[in-house]
A and B are shown apart, each in its own frame.
Chain A
Amino acid sequence: DVKVTQSSRYLVKRTGEKVFLECVQDMDHENMFWYRQDPGLGLRLIYFSYDVKMKEKGDIPEGYSVSREKKERFSLILESASTNQTSMYLCASSSPRGAVYGYTFGSGTRLTVV
C-alpha cells in the first residue's frame, strides 16, 4: 500500500518560531500537496509540487513556504508561526494523473501555536 507519513501527529510551537512539517511518501509519486483543514472551511490548498525542486502556490500560501529537494519528501515551513496558523495540516501525494486515481493522504499533523 502507498504510504504517506507525516513526521508528527501533534505539535505545539510558540509564536514566532520557525516550524517544519515533514511529509514522506514511498510510492515514487511525482505530485505532492499540503492542505490545511479547519472546521467549516474544509481543506484548503497551501502549496503543491509536481516534481523535485518545483513548487506552486495554492489558494492560501501566505505565511508558508515549501521545500522539495527529493522526490519522496515535501516539507512545509512556517517562517514565523502565528496563532492563526493553528490547524490540522494534511499532506497528500499522487501520480501525475492523480485526480483520476486518487490522492493518498497522511494522517495529519495537528499544530497548535501558543
Chain B
Amino acid sequence: AQSVTQLDSQVPVFEEAPVELRCNYSSSVSVYLFWYVQYPNQGLQLLLKYLSGSTLVESINGFEAEFNKSQTSFHLRKPSVHISDTAEYFCAVTISGNTGKLIFGQGTTLQVKP
C-alpha cells in the first residue's frame, strides 16, 4: 500500500522569504505524485504533478517540486513567497496507471507573515 508523510504541520515564514514544504512517500511500485493547495474556505486545487520525465516540475505561480526516487521525496519549494500563498498544502500519491484513487498526506499549513 502507498502512504504519504508531510513532515511539517505548520510552516510560518515571512513574505519574500524562501520556503520548502516536505513530503515523503512510501510505495513498492512506480507512483505519480501531486501537490494540491486549499485556500481558506475553498476546495482543493491541483498545484503541480509528477508523472514521468523531468524530475523537476513547476506551477504557474512560482512553486516547484522535485521528485527524488532514491529518497522517496517530493518536496515543494518557492524562492519568494507572497501573502496570497497562505493556504494548506497537501501532497498526494497514486500508483502509476491507476484509475485515479489518490492517497493524501496530513497537510501543511503555510502561514506567510508580512
Contact = CB atoms under 8 A, between A and B. Distances in A.
Contacts, number: 65
Interface residues of A, number: 28
B102 interface: yes
A62 B81 CA distance: 41
Interface in B52-98: 90, 94, 98
A71 to B, nearest CB: 15
- Most chain A CB atoms below 10 A, which of B51, B99, B100: B100
A64 interface: no
A4 interface: yes
A31 interface: yes
Contacts of A4: 43
B102 A105 contact: no
A112 to B, nearest CB: 16
Interface in B6-47: 6, 9, 32, 34, 41-46
A8 to B, nearest CB: 14
A35 B102 CA distance: 10
A106 B42 CA distance: 8
A90 B9 CA distance: 20
Given A103-B44, A105-B45, A107-B42, A97 B106 contact: no
Interface of B: 4, 6, 9, 32, 34, 41-46, 49, 51, 90, 94, 98-107
18 contacts: A35-B104, A41-B106, A45-B101, A58-B101, A90-B44, A92-B44, A95-B100, A97-B99, A98-B99, A99-B32, A99-B101, A102-B49, A103-B100, A105-B43, A105-B44, A105-B45, A107-B42, A107-B43
